Chain A
Amino acid sequence: MSPWIVGFTIFFGYPLVMTAYYSFTHYDLLSSPHWIGLANYKYLFNGDKRVWPAVSNTLWIIAIAVPLNVLFAFGIGLMLSRARRGVGFFRTVFYLPALVPPVAATLGFVYLLNPGTGPVNTILGHLGLPQPLWFDSPTWAKPSLVLLGLWGVGNMMIIFLAAIIDVPRHLYESAELDGAGSLQRMRWVTLPTISPVILFAIVIGVIEGMQYFTQAYVASTIAAGSAASATEGANSLGYPLDSTLFYPVLLYQQGFRYFNMGYASAMAVLLLAVAFAVTFLIVRNSRRWVHYQGPALR
């Protein structure tokens, strides 16, 4: 077994060290890296005008999309757990969008929401409602991505459904004997019992939020439209007006379109530090509100 473990550790450990090293160098892949000290970090924290939009967009998507996704997944899971007929059918309906490849889903949503001829704005027009520019508007581009995310919430929904069904019935019964109404049973029985799953959903959501790339890349390049090749497509990243420029998107553009490998490494080191800190904080604070049943898993 050990060869695998050694290989795995090396494959994972070596790049981590090298990322840290490259972050102190200027490196364009053609010539060998040369040491420039903290210059990359200075530019990252004080100089690159696109870092702040990238960071704030990423924070925005985490702060808005993660809670919405969790609520939505929980809500649908709850509805399904109450249904008496057709549970299998509804479960499939809600799960299917989660299977759709992100590129296909994004392309579909850019079409559905396209301002001129998209079905959504057509329907909104018939109803006499305002018709936003969606992916073409700096204000609406991120909310459009949130809608796309909500559509694909199926995985989380299945997990919530399983957890809700698993809540022991005797807990509900004793709560009812104590005179708890349905809202109180939700607050004092359902939520505490499934709190580990809520934590899991939040952690996964935050981790995915920090890697948010595909949907933003595809939506911005396709909505921007005119770009003609993969290379030029990279120039429309963040369209419109950097409103969909997320941190991983900027990292990709710097590292693999402009080949500023050193600078992109500095961005990666910052991401690593933040990812560590955030995961650590969530897990530590969770001990206050997460309720584990029976023996802990690890």
Chain B
Amino acid sequence: MTSATAPAQAGEFVRRKPPAPIRRRRFLVTVADHSLLIATAIIFLAPFAFMVATAFMTNAQALSPELWPRPFRFENFADIFRAAPLWRYALNSFIYGGLATLFLLVSSIPVAYALAKLRWRGREATFLVVLIAMMLPPQVTVIPVYVMWAKLHLVGSLWPLILPNLFGDAFSIFLLRQFFLTIPDEYLDAARVDGCGEFRILTTVVARLAKPAIAAVALFSFLFCFNDFFGPLLYTGESPQNWTLSVGLAQFRTLHQVQWNLAMAATLVAIAPVLILFFLAQRAFVEGVTLTGVKG
């Protein structure tokens, strides 16, 4: 019974109190479960704790075996903004993430809708292409794409990262299609009977019903862009004014010869936006992740 979930067990207690030895055993199992959980949680939190502690240390302390900052040096955070244009990097990250996500939604939602709810020749073949595109490592196509952007003289800017999203993104199309499939056809037919065109159905009925999935896709897309390193490194590696936070952070320690305490402070600055986003949209996150797994 140990693997049962809580509410079911509570129900049992109402019916009949189990004999003492069984209760004691259950209690011990619960204690063991939770101690293991707490121990693992501490290990997961420890890297954060060390990073935060180091971010407030003086340089001499960061280079000593001490683990707790004494005194706290808050100027570290002022120093890193002087050492590197972190605001500029953050702005670039948000430009990349924001525009890419916007474009991606505009392009992927109609494609996903067409794949899920419209009948047309070549639908299955197109879906296969989407699946293959999703599985292929980006390195496979990156060279001709880079050459193309080089010929357009856009290497060095963020456009090669943003513009392709106008043509849809395989993973987002896949995810949205899986969700659109669960929308009953009756709703769409009702709208058609009322004289709605496909475009209006999409922007009203489907968009409203699929809000959680669209929110999840938008979140994932933004997060992907914000965390992306390969793309910005490739296209903006030689143009520091267009670096995103990821690229700036990767070069931060070596480029500025800075100490570990400052590097950790910068790391926290790079992590902060993502954590804030998470706590603002926690439910959408967890639902979205679950969606990828269950529907996949």
A-side residues, CB < 8 A to B, are 1, 4-5, 7-9, 11-12, 14-16, 18-19, 22, 29, 76, 79-85, 90-97, 99-104, 107-109, 111-112, 114, 116-117, 119, 122, 125, 151, 155, 158-160, 162-163, 165-166, 169, 172, 176, 182, 185-186, 190, 197, 200, 203, 207, 210-211, 213-214, 217-218, 221-222, 225-231, 233, 248, 251-252, 255-256, 261, 264-265, 268-269, 271-272, 275, 279, 297
Contacts and interface: CB of A to CB of B under 8 A. Distances in A.
B135 A218 contact: no
A103 B246 contact: yes
B179 to A, nearest CB: 12
A213 B246 CA distance: 13
Interface string B33-67: 11011001100110110110010000000111101
B16 to A, nearest CB: 17
A262 to B, nearest CB: 9
B238 interface: yes
A11 B47 contact: no
Contact of B107 (A4, A91, A101, A271): A4
Contacts of A211: 137-139
Given A1-B114, A7-B167, A79 B36 contact: yes
Contact of A5 (B111, B136, B267): B111
A19 B143 contact: yes
Interface string B234-253: 10011000000111011111
Instruction: Tell me whether chain B's interface is mostly helix, strand or loop, or mixed.
Output: helix
Given A159-B289, A248-B139, A233 B251 contact: yes
B187 interface: no
A81 B5 contact: yes
9 contacts: A11-B164, A29-B147, A103-B227, A103-B250, A169-B4, A172-B4, A186-B3, A256-B146, A268-B139
Interface centre among A4, A83, A169 (most CB of B within 10 A): A4
Contacts of A94: 40-41, 44
A217 B62 CA distance: 24
Interface residues of B, number: 93
Contacts of A227: 254
A162 B293 contact: yes
B92 interface: no
Contact of B44 (A11, A97, A252): A97
B229 A4 contact: no
B37 A248 contact: no
Contacts of B249: 101, 103-104, 107
B154 interface: no
Contacts of B238: 230-231
B226 interface: yes
B96 interface: no
A271 B229 contact: no
B63 A109 contact: no
A8 B144 contact: no
A119 B36 CA distance: 23
Interface centre among A12, A101, A271 (most CB of B within 10 A): A101
